[in-house]
């Protein structure tokens, strides 16, 4: 099975790629940063690029069975505009490419930031979405993009990190 991972050089992407390789899967990653891991550089098809770029998105998902979308602009990295551009716009670009290339399943890595600062623990998945800053608000909007994609008959799963 071929897995495509956006944000492949991030914490989740690196660990997922290692696990998938251990399980015998083919892995392709896309990130603006290098994998910087000897084994992954040898065994993973590493693409360098931005999730907002249509060509990079298409190259990532071409021939993939599953797309795990873990790329995100983090709150410490940039302005509100940049965070929304990468998180919401980049997701829309990747989902369009996944539809075009008939990717069987998309797993979107969201964030508990969609719940704001919780008043109770544990947080239930049906808790109100209030967002924590620009990052949390962008993840709420991105989950909506994923729901719209799923409503058009695509298999999309949203997971929290």
Written as tens digits, the pLDDT of the chain (161 aa) is 999 999 999 999 999 999 999 999 999 999 999 999 999 999 999 999 999 999 999 999 999 999 999 999 988 867 999 999 999 999 999 999 999 999 999 999 999 888 888 888 898 878 888 888 999 999 999 999 999 988 887 787 887 65
Domain ranges of the chain: 2-159
**Would you state the structure tokens that stand for residue 122, as one six-digit string?**
């544990």
- The pTM of this model reads 0.93
Please count the CA atoms within 13 angstroms of the CA of 95 that sit on its side-chain side: 26
Q: What is the number of H-type helices and E-type strands within the chain? A: 6, 6
Q: Which helix (H) or strand (E) holds 20?
A: helix 11-22
Buried b (16+ CB within 10 A) or exposed e, 76-89: eeeeeeebbbbbbe
CATH of domain 2-159: 3.40.50.720
């Amino acid at each position: 099975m071929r897995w495509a991972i956006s944000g492949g050089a991030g914490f989740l992407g690196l660990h997922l790629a290692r696990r998938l390789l251990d399980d015998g899967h083919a892995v392709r990653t896309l990130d603006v940063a290098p994998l910087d891991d000897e084994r992954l550089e040898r065994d993973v098809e590493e693409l360098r690029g931005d999730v907002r770029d249509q060509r990079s998105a298409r190259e990532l998902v071409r021939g993939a069975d599953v797309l795990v979308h873990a790329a995100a602009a983090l709150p410490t990295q940039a302005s509100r505009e940049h965070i929304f551009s990468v998180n919401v716009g980049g997701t829309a670009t990747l989902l369009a490419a996944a539809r075009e290339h008939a990717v069987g399943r998309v797993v979107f890595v969201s964030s508990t930031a969609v719940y704001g600062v919780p008043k109770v623990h544990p947080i239930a998945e049906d808790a109100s979405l209030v967002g924590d800053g620009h990052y949390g608000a962008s993840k709420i909007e991105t989950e909506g993009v994923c729901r719209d994609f799923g409503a058009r008959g695509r298999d999309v799963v949203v997971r929290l990190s």
